[in-house]
């Protein structure tokens, strides 16, 4: 079974700083998808960024980028120029294709951006 | 609708009672998922529907939990003889197709269930 581990329960940075959230996973699959989701106090999970394991190039979405290290089974999220609205829980998630989006989530990291 | 709608937003029930949680997915989305998120944890998969049928119910914890989607749209998660350990946020998500490559799962705001 796949497992996802987020070793940082909480992180806090000043506005405009760069922050990196860590995630490691365990799988025997060679092809899979990895995701970062944001969960604000409203509880709604919002997709931040996704990475396909067969793609070597790291995914980027505006201020959000990932460092995908397949051999190390590591998938970290970097947030540049952090904003107050980035304050939320962040979850790393794994999905094995080709089937349903049965996501396996990590325990989450609570990120606080301070003014 | 514009997004995934879950009702009620919050539900408090007494131990042993029966509860129903409703999910109204985005119009046209054929895939629907239920997850359970306990306090301080990430969501855990419960069940997945493709159309009207449950394609994967491997995450349902026991036979007190049941879910239906009779017309391929709205889904109801049913919990019988509730226990205090059932207290959690129940999240619903929907998507157009099954693969992650071309689409994403859109989540509702969840139902917070508290069993007292």
Task: Give chain A positions within 8 Å (CB) of B42.
Answer: 4, 91, 93, 105-108
| CA distances in angstroms from B15 to B19, B61, B110, B111, B114, listed in the order given | 10, 17, 21, 17, 9
Task: Give chain A positions within 8 Å (CB) of B101.
Answer: 33, 52, 97
> Are residues B66 and B47 in contact, defined by beta-carbon separation less than 8 angstroms?
no
Selecting from A95, A105, A106 the residue whose C-beta is nearest the C-beta of B100 gives A95
Q: Which residues pair with B3 in a beta bridge?
A: none
The average confidence (pLDDT) of chain B is 93
Q: Which residues pair with A105 in a beta bridge?
A: A93
d(CA A25, CA B85): 27
**The two three-digit tokens of residue B16, written as one number:** 């042993």
Instruction: Label residue A30 exposed, middle or buried (CB < 10 Å: 0-12, 13-18, 19+).
Output: exposed
**A83-87, B70-74, B95-99, B111-115: which has the minimum mean pLDDT?**
B95-99
Higher-confidence residue of A113 and B99: namely A113
Which tens digits make up the pLDDT trace of A20-44? 999 999 999 888 999 999 999 989 9
Using CB atoms and an 8 Å cut-off, which of residues 48-107 of chain A contact chain B? 50, 52, 91, 93, 95, 97-107
The predicted structure's pLDDT at residue B61: 96
pLDDT at B98 over 80: no
CA-closest candidate to residue A76, choices A97, A101, A49: A49
**Arithmetic mean of pLDDT, B7-29:** 97
The predicted structure's pLDDT at residue A102: 84
d(CA A88, CA B32): 25
Residue A13 touches partner B, C-beta closer than 8 Å: no
The predicted structure's pLDDT at residue A40: 95
**Inter-chain CB proximity A103 and B35 less than 8 Å:** yes
The predicted structure's pLDDT at residue A29: 87
Which tens digits make up the pLDDT trace of B25-69? 999 898 999 999 999 999 999 999 999 999 899 999 999 999 999
A vs B, Cβ pairs < 8 A, gives 71
Q: Percent of chain A at pLDDT above 70?
A: 97
> Are residues A109 and A5 in contact, defined by beta-carbon separation less than 8 angstroms?
no
Higher-confidence residue of A94 and A99: namely A94
**Arithmetic mean of pLDDT, A6-17:** 97
Task: Give chain B positions within 8 Å (CB) of A33.
Answer: 100-101
DSSP summary character for residue B105: P
The predicted structure's pLDDT at residue A30: 87
d(CA A88, CA A62): 18
d(CA B40, CA A107): 7
Q: For the residues of chain A, what is the DSSP string, one character each?
A: --EEE---SEEEEETT--EEE--EEE-S-SS-EEEEEEE-TT---EEEEEEETT--SPPEETTEEEEEETTTTEEEEEE-S--GGG-EEEEEEEE-SSS----EE---EEEEEE-
**Inter-chain CB proximity B42 and A45 less than 8 Å:** no
């Amino acid at each position: 079974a796949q497992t996802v581990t987020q070793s940082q329960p909480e992180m806090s940075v000043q506005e405009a700083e760069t922050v990196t959230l860590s995630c490691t996973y365990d799988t025997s699959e060679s092809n899979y998808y990895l995701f970062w989701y944001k969960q604000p106090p409203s509880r709604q999970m919002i997709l931040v960024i996704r990475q396909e394991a067969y793609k070597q190039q790291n995914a980027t979405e505006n201020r959000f980028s990932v460092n995908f290290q397949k051999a190390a089974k590591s998938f970290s999220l970097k947030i540049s120029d952090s904003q107050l609205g980035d304050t939320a829980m962040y979850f790393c998630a794994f999905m094995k294709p080709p089937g349903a989006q049965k996501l396996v989530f990590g325990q989450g990291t609570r990120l606080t951006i301070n003014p | 609708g514009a997004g995934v709608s879950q009702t009620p937003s919050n539900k408090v029930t007494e131990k042993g009672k029966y509860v129903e949680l409703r999910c109204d997915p985005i119009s046209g989305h054929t895939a629907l998922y239920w997850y359970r998120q306990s306090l301080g944890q990430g969501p855990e998969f419960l069940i997945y529907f493709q159309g009207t049928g449950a394609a994967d119910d491997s995450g349902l914890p026991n036979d007190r939990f049941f879910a239906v989607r009779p017309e391929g749209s709205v889904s109801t998660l049913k919990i019988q003889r509730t226990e205090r350990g059932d207290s959690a946020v129940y999240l619903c998500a929907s998507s157009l197709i099954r693969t992650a490559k071309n689409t994403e799962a859109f989540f509702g705001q969840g139902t917070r269930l508290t069993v007292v």
